[in-house]
Structure 1
């Protein structure tokens, strides 16, 4: 979706949103609703409430660029306390992507996007900022931090793996989806979407639905864009930069599939009942498949209001 001069016309209510977000909000007809939430995107400090939430989390995803420049989204896990708020503007992550993960040894000095998820309580916090250190852990100078709604988060409990297995041992790097990769995608009820804006940096966003909501065909992947908070952070980024990174899980086994490629938003002329009329099509360019989630699912309950699947 391209922007036009009218799309880029700013008003006082536009503060906090970039041109891509504004263009999508206007096309979707939700500019007024989004404007009321604009303060969420202002530079903020890590509040006491967010710090308390992060202190108990054991699961995080990070979107950033590898040493070779590709955009990827990777999982990180650790015991409670592995996410440490050192100051109102600094977060330390006491974990790094392991060998075999495309973000292993990711370079500092870049903008990254983080999302911490508590699946059991269906809560999540998104953090965007500058990666200032990536040695023994990740240190992020926080520029944005805000909570998201619980929509489409499946409730699950994850238990850490203690078998000492080397996650890099079975990692496969490639460019073509294999049958097992397609099966994982088609069975998925959750994935993480990484996008980037040339000025604002990277973002990591949760996506969920009934198993099968992500489709695979000869042209790549696509999924319906379900109703959300109307901020359109991800689709706004895609409106100005098509780079995208997807992270899929098989939670019972810890198997992961990471995809790096491009994505675009398609707008249908006549949406299905209850649908938004928007879908996102993703073209994979590179992939990493392995068991890079050192945890497994021990309990599960689907989100009770997952939209029904359509035939198209």
Structure 2
């Protein structure tokens, strides 16, 4: 194995990682400073180890290059996981994987420019890499990496592939070529929610940024507007502010597009000449568009049935989901009594439309008209799963006015208001490590949703890694989902379930603690997920850390106040995901003249504002675009993810911010200029 090549963090040296046309695009969009800072921090001239491992687990990769005429094309390369490999952090090798009808077939040679996009649709992960081909040996193409960086998950529709034989034996004989779109092509484009685009700047003046770029584009069906059989228009949404594609188009307007028919396995390639529409009334026709790109079709190639996959239906990205930022009405379709004090409510859209997708572990903000309250009561209940594709399930324990009203008053057919699901406590489906779920009481609700995913539900990486599920209740009769767990363990040999009851006299008497875990687990490298009362969380977290379990391997969510204080692993950067929280924190929105209470389950400051009817600008919801930046007048925040955008002096990105409050007592307040 080759020795690692030394590298520095971020972009090396004083030069910019962008070429002149990218800088021109960034300046016109007003992104110069934030793009420069984010680019120097996030773009590298090598691949981080996590990127190298990520590429090696992919069954396909989107690659881009230039044909003999200099036309950029994006295309799919397909193989068994491992067909893309990285022997060192500046080398990428792709072994075979060329599909029939590939427009780049025969073009790979030493010195050819290469752009790559590794994308995992089930988990919405993606990373970019650009470089130059150093050798072509039989079917193996070796690339020397010049730039590598990660992308956030926004606008990626999640869908899970299943391998299937490619149709026919000679797809080349069925590849149709034309200079305009057929009715069949137009129908595919009009229902498309995903495509990939290749652009290039091959000028010597481009310096270190010279090369081919491949990018993902996603939106709700209809975001690709077919103006006529030789013209397409698409929105350019807020992204990482690098404007790589737009910058390349300013240097060379040629672009290649590829669309997949996820149902039948066709690939539709379109060679175009593009123009950027920076402003004007036409932008209002595409919600959320920062600018438009109009593509003039030069050539169309359609290869039938060449993709060896069929895919599940799309789960639309949260930022594209219907009603993601507004309240919408849900009808109570059914109610199930889980225990004497816990009920599950099955909810469907009152208008019969599609529900916004959610990640297992997230919560659902709801707004309830509780008698005796002057204003609607806003609460967040964790989604314990779904019933089919058109129903949410929340499982609510009777505790307080809102939950008691749900238990005592709401019946099937009634309506409540909700917003799109949210929250950062989610299951890492891409991890190869065994998962250990630890919960007590009503803390079981996110664990049930995560367990369904870990056992092979939509978004799971394989469904074959070992899973350990621990749950503590006072008595057996007070445990929800007991029957589900028993059926699951009977069906899945990799699942180990341990149900404990704290009340004496019960058959499985005891509490979940580290000593119990040591009796069951052959301690190795696990991902731990914790949810339950404060003392349960604190004792388990501190016990696991005492056994040298890395802090980053322990994820937790508390229902109510939590006194868990993270201790970072030696040599690991301080975590940005959680901080100690306490009950009674207040957030004041100064311009709106509103002061509201905040607790951990209410999510980010942006989500708190939205839940209370306070208008707050936002776009990416991932700390990337900077749209939600607001001045912090008093107090401080902690980020739940590493920010890409720079919010500016005295400001914070509200979409990934939570208030910092004391665990020693004493209320703290956060004041936002909003």
TM over 0.5: yes
Shift, 1:297, TM fit: 0.6
Please give the alpha-carbon distance, in whole angstroms, between the structure 1 residues aligned to 2:135 and 2:168. Answer: 27
Contact 1:269 1:277 in 2 (8 A): no
Matched, 1:216 2:229: no
Please give the alpha-carbon distance, in whole angstroms, between the structure 1 residues aligned to 2:25 and 2:78. Answer: 33
Question: Structure 2 matches for 1:1-312, cutoff 5 A?
Answer: 15-39=16-40, 42-108=43-109, 109-134=111-136, 135-163=138-166, 165-166=168-169, 167-198=171-202, 199=206, 200-218=210-228, 220-269=231-280, 271-272=283-284, 275-291=288-304, 292-306=306-320
Contact 1:13 1:35 in 2 (8 A): no
Q: Which has the larger radius of gyration?
A: 2
Instruction: Encode CA deviations 1:48-79: one digit per residue, 9 max, x unaligned.
Output: 11111111111211111224543211111111
Q: Name the TM-score, length of structure 2 as normaliser.
A: 0.42
**Backbone CA RMSD of aligned residues:** 2.1
Task: Indicate the structure whose relative CO is greater, using CA pairs within 8 Å and at least 6 residues apart.
Answer: 1
Shift, 1:300, TM fit: 3.0
Contact 1:117 1:125 in 2 (8 A): yes
Instruction: Encode CA deviations 1:209-265: one digit per residue, 9 max, x unaligned.
Output: 001100111350110111111110100111111110000011121111001121111
Q: How many residues align?
A: 297
Shift, 1:92, TM fit: 0.6
Please give the alpha-carbon distance, in whole angstroms, between the structure 2 residues aligned to 1:67 and 1:15. Answer: 30
Shift, 1:274, TM fit: 5.9
Please give the alpha-carbon distance, in whole angstroms, between the structure 2 residues aligned to 1:170 and 1:40. Answer: 46
| Consecutive unaligned residues in structure 2, runs of 5 or more | 1-12, 323-674
| Paired position in structure 2 for 1:6 | none
Shift, 1:43, TM fit: 4.7
Please give the alpha-carbon distance, in whole angstroms, between the structure 1 residues aligned to 2:265 and 2:273. Answer: 25
Please give the alpha-carbon distance, in whole angstroms, between the structure 2 residues aligned to 1:14 and 1:287. Answer: 39
| Consecutive unaligned residues in structure 1, runs of 5 or more | 1-11
Q: Name the TM-score, length of structure 1 as normaliser.
A: 0.88
User: Relative to structure 2, which stretch is displaced further, 126-135 or 116-125?
Assistant: 126-135
Please give the alpha-carbon distance, in whole angstroms, between the structure 2 residues aligned to 1:226 and 1:94. Answer: 34
